[in-house]
Amino acid sequence: MTWQPEIEELSARKSLAAELGGEDRVDRHRQAGKLTVRERIDTLVDGSSFREIGSVAGFTDYDEDGAISGFTPANFVFGRATLDGRPVVVAGDDFTVRGGAADASIWRKMTYSEGIARELRLPVVRLVDGSGGGGSVKTYLDWGRTYVPPLPGWRDQMEILSEVPVVAAALGSVAGLGAARVAGSHFSVMVDGLSQVFVAGPPLVSYASHEDVTKEDLGGARMQTANGVVDNRASSEEDAFFQLRRFLSYLPGNVWELPPVGSSDDDPGRRDERLLSFIPRDRREPYDPRLLIDLVVDRESFFEIGRWWGRSMVVGFVEFDGHPAGITATDPGYLGGTMTADAAEKLRRFVDLCDTFHLPIVNLVDQPGFEIGVRAEQAATLRRGVGMIAALYQATVPYFSVIVRRVFGIGGAAMVDRAERANMRVAWPSGDWGSLPLEGGVEAAFRRRLDAAEDREALRAELLAEFEPVRSPFRTAEAFDIEEVIDPRDTRPLVCEWVRDAYRVLPHQLGPKARGYRP
């Protein structure tokens, strides 16, 4: 006697589950330009590394003899796999079964997937396609009652953010709880033209607010990456999967491990001559911050996060001599590089991310201060800016400030006022700093004289010329108010040396932070 009959039944049940929502629905799904959930997982992970958990969970009908007469698989597929050889938990929604709605799922599968990832200290990859929420109101009739809406498993889903990397891809029309699972991750991406993310879809919006909008207008990729709901947009599902893998490649598997250090064929002592003239002498002239980053980090190592949101700040992951690090820079080509409310929120979130996973931060500082004016006040720039400052001061990860140009006001001070512990700061000869920009300060301090002058511009130029020698960074270095002024070409060798030292400090900081990660 063997258990062969049961093995055959298991195989038959797995075959039924592999049919997803049925041939017709699968065909419609593909005709919309979308991969099925199982195709997505196979495309994302290494080879045949996916080991499914709950493969035969679903909704089964039995005939009078106890034989299966109908089967609908749960529309949530998850299991363990490897990405670039590193173990992860992968979970995906099956839109071909009730549009990925929760009333066609089994809640315990979703909660179990996050719980086991937390228990095993493995990163989580969420492939979201559907609502994942409370499902249709039709369930009220099925149950004969309504219910107080729950958030099953969300304690784990919030606490896991402080312990392991969590990434999400929105791969269709994602609403409600599904949308929250995308936003409630360390990194999110959506496919341009294919994905939409919103709290509620057009029918409910039309009823509640009398707005008639398309799904794309309501929550398309260009909107949701410009307002910070989603970090990046992708050109295809395959591009989205590439970005998920790339993001995870900089991070440790959990907060008890160091970030993965690799080798680099880029000379850590490389001195790029372009840096010598990179910052224009005209202080109002912009430059390309992404090129600046590329000139000092390991070649082709920069992975930008949130390019279309908070655009006066540029943030992302890089490597220095094979060591992962976070990097931030100002984009003077957008609103002069001022710290807007969105930019402050973007920087706050990025600092929390690096601090949670113990990535040293290198900041290429050119900060003219908080945005001012009516628009800035309406956006609560000060409140969000103070939140950013709190994140900088709460962070314990090593921090290196390279002042390439401006440091003014509260916003500028927050970028560089951390010269303690394993932190360091240096300045280029183009450094320019103070409580406020000199040009604006002269207008305020000498307003009466300027208004009374026969030639206002001539007097203004005369006053600025009088102050010009005082603003020299070498005067500041004489008082040791800046620790070192360096040749810009020495930036990469100096930072590479510092990052190697920082990685000697990091083992003493491993583990969760005292404060949890804030999405």
Domain positions in the chain are 4-249, 273-436+472-509
pLDDT at position 135 is 59
| Three-state DSSP class for residue 214 | coil
pLDDT at residue 372 tops 70: yes
N residues, the chain? 519
Cα separation, 173 vs 131, whole angstroms: 8
pLDDT at position 130 is 81
Cα separation, 107 vs 57, whole angstroms: 11
When pLDDT is averaged across residues 184-211 and rounded to a whole number, the result is 91
* Beta-carbon contacts of residue 117 (< 8 Å; ≥ 6 apart): 89, 123, 124, 160, 164
Question: Higher-confidence residue: 304 or 451?
Answer: 304
Looking at 86-236, list the stretches that DSSP marks H as alpha helix, in order from N- to C-terminal side.
107-120, 138-143, 154-159, 176-183, 202-209, 215-219, 221-224
Give the distance, in angstroms, between the CA of residue 368 and the centroid of all CA atoms in the same chain: 24
pLDDT tens digit sequence for 245-254: 999 999 999 9
Where are the extended beta strands (E) located within 227-277? 232-234
pLDDT tens digit sequence for 84-112: 999 999 999 998 887 656 655 677 888 89
pLDDT at residue 288 tops 90: yes
pLDDT at residue 133 tops 80: no
Point out the least confidently predicted range of 17-21, 226-230, 340-344, 505-509: 17-21
Cα separation, 388 vs 371, whole angstroms: 14
CATH architecture of 4-249: Alpha-Beta Complex (3.90)
pTM: 0.92
Please report, to the nearest 10 degrees, the dihedral formed by the alpha carbons of residues 144, 147, 152, 155 taken in order: -170
Count CA atoms within 13 Å of residue 138 on its CB side. Answer: 7
Task: Answer yes or no: CATH 3.90.930.60 is held by domain 273-436+472-509.
Answer: no
Please say whether the beta carbons of 100 and 178 come within 8 A. yes
* Beta-carbon contacts of residue 144 (< 8 Å; ≥ 6 apart): none
* Beta-carbon contacts of residue 341 (< 8 Å; ≥ 6 apart): 371, 376, 379, 380, 381, 384, 385
* Beta-carbon contacts of residue 404 (< 8 Å; ≥ 6 apart): 278, 279, 292, 364, 365, 366, 428, 430, 431, 488
Cα separation, 474 vs 267, whole angstroms: 30
Cα separation, 441 vs 216, whole angstroms: 46
> What's the mean pLDDT when you consider all of the chain?
91
Cα separation, 480 vs 296, whole angstroms: 26
pLDDT at residue 490 tops 60: yes
Cα separation, 406 vs 368, whole angstroms: 6
Same CATH topology for 4-249 and 273-436+472-509? yes
pLDDT tens digit sequence for 27-40: 888 988 899 999 99
Cα separation, 212 vs 207, whole angstroms: 9
Query: Averaging pLDDT over each range in 54-58, 67-71, 417-421, which range is the top one?
Result: 54-58
Burial label for 166, CB within 10 Å (0-12, 13-18, 19+), is: buried
